Amino acid sequence: MDRRLFLSSSFAFGVAGLMAPSFSAFQKRRAHRSDSAQQPKIERVIKTNEEWKKILTTEQYEVTREQGTEAPFSSPLTDIHEKGVFRCVCCDLSLFDSSAKFDSGTGWPSFFQPISKANVHEQTDTSLAEVRTEVLCARCDAHLGHVFTDGPKPTGLRYCMNGVALKFVKS
């Protein structure tokens, strides 16, 4: 290779590198795209606030649509130990399997993992003095609760969910 061409292309790559993301950033994006391409597409459910109010109780609406929190130890789902699936109360998407449920002692139904990462979305929640990770239903954006990193093995996660945001279907 001609040394001048090498130097000139190296300079151009270096300058372009200052203005564009690094190669590793491109690799990360490509890896993320391929991971998300492998996950099943979830059909969205979109309703107006008035439509949600017609199908949800006042408490369900407050928690799932307005990011509320139910009182601890108020949900009968906390004490369920049967085999089955916990589904979104708004759109019926399967969210958590009973085999991933554990007693966290917090007063809310807790799980160490969702049925599929594709079924939940996570986003930063700064509504209180602390930064938390909010968990939303991937199909209808219902507020479900929060996920914390103080859970049991194998994931070390604690999906602390509002029972009023879920319904249990026994298998």
- List active site positions: 160
Query: Tokens 């609406």 identify what position?
Result: 61
Contact criterion met (CB below 8 Å) for 163 and 70: yes
C-alpha dihedral sign at 131, 114, 39, 68? negative
